[in-house]
Chain A
Amino acid sequence: MAECTPLSQITNTTSSTGRGGRSWTQRQHTPYTRTPRSRRLTGQGKTVPLARTPQAPRTLSRIKELVNKTWRLYKVTPLYKFDLGSLRKYSRLLSAHLDAEYRKGIAVGVESEVADSARFSLFKGLKGASGDSDAIEITVKAKPKSGQGESKVVLSAILCSVQLPDDAFLFPESFTFLPVMMVKGGVGLTKQIVSWLEHQFDCHITHMSFSPYDLSWMVAMWGGCVPETNSKPVEMMYTVPKEVEGLSRITMTIDAKVCKELWDSIRDPTNNRFTEEEEAAFIKSLESHFFYHFKVKLTAMYLNRVVTSIAVVDSSGRIKFYSDDHVHRVLRHITEVAVEQIQQK
């Protein structure tokens, strides 16, 4: 059995130094990532809202629009001089840029649509704690080429930050940190918007991809979240290495109720954080159940796609939420992973 350091030690070292960053002994000077010993599962950031303080009222929150759509995830470095007051100016600038690109001949929406207007707006309901910046939504509308018909939304992008981890790096006031960008729209249009954002705000936007290790954390943390309605079985899809000709994927689907029982049995309910040991126990127990029946080593395969009752995530960075109650939880984790991946660079 791996030796475990006491949990109190871990939480102390990672969160005691506050927003100012880690002490010099813990800051990374190596190109390798340090695998986290535990992750936030539930729980708030520095500010814990009192039981009676109303959070953003549900009617204003637009989280329901995020559910049941496939989004592509990108990670965004801090934006320089992003001003919440000049959203209209940014909308104008982006529309002009898209128009110019179209005229240059870089066709966007080749078949029937001409990207017409872009709009920046505040996306309410996604802010996790008071330390987070407000979430921004960019919508691009397009009119069909024939000139008739009304314009419809062709791309929708949301930049957000949900409960930034306490030990994220420190940055001056002129920077806004919205590490996660979710995009739903065409590839060409996305590229143009990304290049404009990079140019305008001096940031760096890249695809977010998840390693099998990240995906196994996700399935371990969310495998036990079974909402009352619409529970889906927990599924893990592995791709087989190329040397094995003929077989391409192995999928293991576990009934939701039974998975929750397993999750409850390995979990320490008093702890707010999900530890590495719990994650290892979850994944290893499922893989050993598989090995007992088939004598096939799943540990040697690449975990490619993970489906739980609250979200489905795959290694290329595509995500789909199933339950609007748990969007916060999922995005909180995505924010943490995005920050880690940015810091790694």
Chain B
Amino acid sequence: MMEREIFRKILGRLRKDELRPVLQEWGHLGKRLHEIDFSHSKHSVHSYVVKGFMKNYPNGHPDAVGKLDLLCLQKHSAKRTWAVYHLKKEQDSPPNDVADPKEFEQRLRRELGVDFKKMELCVLQHEKALWVRICISKGSKTKPMLKNATYCVHFPHTPVLIVTNMKAATAESIKQAFVNVLDYDDIQDIRLTGRCVKSLAQLSLNKYSQGSFSQYRLNQVDLQPLSHGKKRKRTESEESITDPRIVFVNQKEKKQRLEILNDTFGPNPQPTLEKIEYKLETKFHGNHYAPGMRNHTGPFHCRVKFEGTSVIEGIKNLGKTELAVVPLPDHLAKVHSLAKNHFVLQDKTKANKSVQDSQT
């Protein structure tokens, strides 16, 4: 039966130690969960789970697959790339927001039911956010396919929506449904993508308290700034080499560099981004080595991509290891406060000024 295979596929995504807590939260196994011996091989444990579910619900359960899929995704959200959208409202009036998952689900079902006859919808609350799974089937007779499911994360009372796996055919309807349900006017792609949902949320929600301001947000600043007590804890020196014969000649420059870097990036760990892309449409600036290009008018089109496990941290380290000259330019150093990772760099001309003004 198709459902058995779908279950197996979803369960296969979980690690062995994650099976029990997820199934408990799922709840559709009930008492039969205790009958399963989790020390067997993964394959046999999956068989037991499927059997137990079939016994509980011989005719199947419409929301079971969706809920299990969403729970698995919450554990492995880093496997997909997420994109962040911003909901916009014209007037200043507060939107008719909803924080209750049940009510959210009802409203969403009503909105999407207008366009799509057959769909699976599941809303769960997880770590202060509403996780939504929407699975729409193409025809009226076919069952919704697992790979077509769109997942969204919404933080209540904020205009932020983080989405993954949105198919082109249904994208507009889903976006419009969210706009209607949350009582906003428009939705915009703010060009911020990544794999870590937490970091993306941090970048978009805490846009104005990143970098060195994160100290205030996280309560790390001295609560009694006027008291001049001696610091008990000595800060560890960077150099672990304590041989007295070695003299470091550039200590002052190093200290200055580290100070500047700490000012721009802050002492706290940076949010993880996997990729930062720049599209350069400026004039060519390598004229010192290529004098023939001095007469070249028009932009020198090129694209630059920085990739890694945590690119913002990497850029800070580039400054630390002197592979980059400090102070770094703003579009590189202030990425943590810009809430996007696809940039376009243009020359400052009158023609571009109007574009810049409209974007800020």
Q: Is the CB of B318 within 8 A of A296?
A: yes
Q: Is the CB of A288 within 8 A of B308?
A: no
Q: How far is the CA of A300 from the CA of B332 in the complex (A)?
A: 18
Number of A-B residue pairs having CB atoms within 8 Å of each other in the complex: 137
Q: Is the CB of B293 within 8 A of A265?
A: yes
Q: How far is the CA of A202 from the CA of B177 in the complex (A)?
A: 72
| Contacting residue for B332 out of A243, A245, A295, CB 8 A | A295
Contact flags (1/0) for B274-292 with A, using CB distance below 8 Å? 0000101010111111111
Q: Is the CB of A297 within 8 A of B323?
A: yes
Indicate if B241 sits at the interface (CB-CB under 8 A). no
Q: Is the CB of A254 within 8 A of B317?
A: no
Q: Is the CB of A247 within 8 A of B324?
A: no
Indicate if B304 sits at the interface (CB-CB under 8 A). yes
Given A240-B314, A248-B314, 19 more pairs with CB closer than 8 A: A244-B314, A244-B323, A245-B317, A246-B308, A247-B307, A250-B304, A258-B301, A264-B292, A265-B290, A265-B291, A265-B293, A285-B284, A285-B293, A288-B286, A288-B289, A289-B300, A292-B285, A293-B280, A296-B325
Q: How far is the CA of A280 from the CA of B301 in the complex (A)?
A: 21
Q: Is the CB of B324 within 8 A of A296?
A: yes
Known A240-B308, A244-B317, A252-B302; contact A294-B329, beta-carbon cutoff 8 A? yes
Indicate if B183 sits at the interface (CB-CB under 8 A). no
Enumerate chain A interface residues (CB-CB to B < 8 A).
233, 240-241, 243-255, 258, 261-262, 264-266, 280-282, 284-290, 292-297, 300-301
Give residues 250-299 of B contacting A (CB, 8 Å).
278, 280, 282, 284-293, 296
| Contacting residue for B318 out of A247, A252, A288, CB 8 A | A247
Q: Is the CB of A246 within 8 A of B300?
A: no
Give residues 305-354 of B contacting A (CB, 8 Å).
305-318, 321, 323-326, 328-329, 332, 345
Q: How far is the CA of A286 from the CA of B311 in the complex (A)?
A: 22
Give min CB distance, B306 to chain A, whole Å: 6
Contact flags (1/0) for B124-148 with A, using CB distance below 8 Å? 0000000000000000000000000
Known A246-B317, A251-B307, A252-B304; contact A241-B285, beta-carbon cutoff 8 A? no
- Interface residue tally of chain B, by bracket? 35 or more
Residues of B within 8 A of A245 (CB): 310, 313-314, 317
Residues of A within 8 A of B157 (CB): none
Known A285-B293, A293-B345; contact A300-B323, beta-carbon cutoff 8 A? yes
Indicate if B198 sits at the interface (CB-CB under 8 A). no
Q: How far is the CA of A243 from the CA of B313 in the complex (A)?
A: 12
Residues of A within 8 A of B326 (CB): 295
Indicate if B20 sits at the interface (CB-CB under 8 A). no
Indicate if B191 sits at the interface (CB-CB under 8 A). no
Q: Is the CB of B302 within 8 A of A243?
A: no
Contact flags (1/0) for B86-128 with A, using CB distance below 8 Å? 0000000000000000000000000000000000000000000
Give residues 136-184 of B contacting A (CB, 8 Å).
none
Q: Is the CB of B311 within 8 A of A295?
A: no
Q: Is the CB of B282 within 8 A of A293?
A: yes
| Contacting residue for A249 out of B284, B285, B291, B308, CB 8 A | B308
Q: Is the CB of A246 within 8 A of B314?
A: yes
Indicate if B80 sits at the interface (CB-CB under 8 A). no
Residues of B within 8 A of A297 (CB): 323-325
